[in-house]
Chains A and B, each alone.
Chain A
Amino acid sequence: MVVNCEHVWREITDYLEGEVDPVLGTAMEEHIRECKRCSAVLQGTRNVVELFGDERALEIPLGFSQRLHRRLEAQMPQRRGGAFGWMVAFAAAGLLIAGLAIGRSSAFSQPPMRSEHAAPAVRLPSDLMVVVYDDGKTFHRPGCDVIHDKAHARMIPASEAMRQGFVPCVRCMKEYSGARANLRDLIDQDRYEIAEALERR
């Protein structure tokens, strides 16, 4: 069997892998012995395989393995632990759900801090003049029916009344009542049931 250069180049991979037919292999060896070019090609190809086959030919980034393991650890679920593990998981889930429910319930929401009668005023115009009397705890518009001790009544600015600890009268100044403002806030927070209850009171 006689082979030419092109034939040798085509078969060179199989030749290096030891996968050519013995007859073809012998013919190739005979050709390569006589042909400088094919000899150079074979030697060069062998060198390529040898050089690149060495582990040092491709450098792995320093710390690659550690970073890989860290990422795997971070994303790998913990080992499954049988029935006890499931019980713990269910208990934890139950506690979480209960906690969320409690957190959303009215008992733990921000309640109005005082009764409607004791709630401080909000959005009160500072220049508004109001009526107070010494033994009272509320301030009023002039002429309000609730003012009993008219002899000791006096007019002061609303801001001063608040500073002294007076709260708005629930009848004549209910638009400034803090309790009602709380109600509005609760409505804003979708706590409709609580707001409704307060409204009924």
Chain B
Amino acid sequence: MTLAGAASLADPAQIILKQEEALIRRLCDGENEVFYQLIRPYERRVYATAFAVLRNEADAEEVAQEAFLKAFKHIRQFRGEARFSTWLLHITVNEARMRRRKNHAEVMEAMVDYQDDQGTYIPRDFADWREIPSETLERHEIRQKLAEALESLTQKYREVFVLRDMQHVSIEDTAKALGITTASVKTRLLRARLMLRDLLAPGLGGDWISRPHFAKGSKPW
């Protein structure tokens, strides 16, 4: 074995790919039960992707199930040109978008949504947002604020942000899953991050963390 070959085999990503290829072969040979093993690492990601499009837990769960079933039924059509996870996410995005159209949700938004905004996004001028320890995520109200901020993004930004920054899908795979260019992924990701920063910085920068909220005019004592 060459040094390059040994290095590539030692690469965890390559090992996972090889394992997935073997599982897919077994699945195509009729060992249906290996499908659970194949999808286990992606269950969360598929749900999150569906949720990014639909913003509704029940719909997202149903669409995630549909996407897995579709992947199972069409596994023989998977040619290995993309990673299995990318193919699965592509199915999920399509299923979720179809469901969204079926629900007639925000039809007008969907028609204009997919064009990239031109020009530079100008972030709001806040004082420094001090570093947030990840322990704050234990607090329900912080998670709630993050969810609200995420929901307020339009779909094209939310999809990219959830895949790239929340599910850690590579820029190339995000582009493939969403059917857009890597340049569009980067543009949307930039805007999504800056918009979320603008939405969250005032609260997370101090208001929500250190100071309790009181109704206007009331006193805590």
Residues of A in contact with B (beta carbons under 8 Å apart): 6, 9-10, 12-14, 17, 36-37, 39-41, 43-45, 47-61, 64-65, 67-69, 71-72, 75-80
Contacts and interface: CB of A to CB of B under 8 A. Distances in A.
Interface of B: 30-33, 35-36, 43-44, 47-48, 51, 57, 61, 64-65, 68-69, 72, 120-123, 125-132, 134, 136-138, 143, 146-147, 150, 161-162, 165-166, 168, 171, 186, 189-190, 193-194, 196-197, 200-201, 204-205
A79 B30 contact: yes
- The A contact surface, by secondary structure, is helix
Contacts of B31: 79
B69 A75 contact: yes
B193 A49 contact: yes
A10 B120 contact: yes
Interface of B, secondary structure class, is helix
Nearest to B36: A69
Contacts of B121: 9
Contacts of A77: 32
B44 A9 contact: no
A200 B67 CA distance: 63
A68 B68 contact: yes
Given A49-B165, A58-B48, A72-B36, A40 B126 contact: yes
A6 B119 CA distance: 10
A181 to B, nearest CB: 53
